Structure 1
């Protein structure tokens, strides 16, 4: 498996019924190349079935909460970035900030592969020049609330 395979798996986790054409567009491959990769992953046992969960809140909470400092490319406007980023899955907060970066984005991801796909998509489709990602280890408010009830 390589990075493209991980990206394909991330797309299929969100929409297992996506067409090979649309899958290829999302990951930068032709429909035939995307189909070949999916078939190989099925043959190798990486993919054992296709299921799409209709209600994402019904499943388990995403494994990672991340904070991404974003610097836009010079040719990208704030409006273009905001329009693009708000369409992406897992984005929970987008804040225009002062300082060294243009935006602070809070997002959730199931795992490192999904986070990698999100970061690649931000650069490819949302006009991001640079990003710096921090992973939340714990929420101090949740820890304090748990301690006070016990």
Structure 2
């Protein structure tokens, strides 16, 4: 995409401004907020050695530019009642990514969706209450999508989110 073209927002299609380069302070702010999305403007400002007004303006710009897509909690899926996790690979009909993506977004427990290159086309991370629910999701919901040619399920035995260094 040319630099002067506007990128679309990932979910609602609204245009984003062209990406601006991030300086070291922006990068530090991102690291702090990735580690603690609830960090106060004051604490962020102190840690990156800028004024609160500057930190506030920088965070707002990062949000407006689409660099920061939102703030969320990191969840322990097992403790939250979703003790079964799996990566599901999908082969799909060529040129149906957008249609398939919309259907995958609607799946209960879908946590991450990626279009990838290689032996399969889509990588889907799901969290379900148990193996029975996972089986239902894969055999009934996923395989019922007409554009899905095949699936392969990789059961996750243990997982760990890597925390950004601060």
User: TM-score, structure 2 length as denominator?
Assistant: 0.46
Q: Distance in 1 between matches of 2:130 and 2:146?
A: 21
Aligned residues: 84
> Alpha-carbon deviation of 1:123?
1.3
2:147 equivalent to 1:130: no
Residues 100-139 of structure 1: matches in 2 within 5 Å?
A: 100-119=119-138, 120-125=140-145, 127-139=147-159
What's the CA shift string for 1:60-114, capped at 9, x where partnerless? 330111001110135x711110011101110000000010100100000111111
Is the 8 Å Cα contact of residues 68 and 105 (structure 1) preserved in structure 2? Answer: yes
What's the CA shift string for 1:127-148, capped at 9, x where partnerless? 2111111111112568xxxxxx
Which runs of no fewer than 5 residues in structure 1 stay unpaired?
Answer: 1-56, 143-150
Query: Which structure shows the bigger proportion of residues in helix conformation?
Result: 1
Q: Distance in 1 between matches of 2:144 and 2:159?
A: 31
Larger Rg belongs to? 2
User: TM-score, structure 1 length as denominator?
Assistant: 0.50
Q: Please, what is the CA RMSD of the aligned residues?
A: 2.3
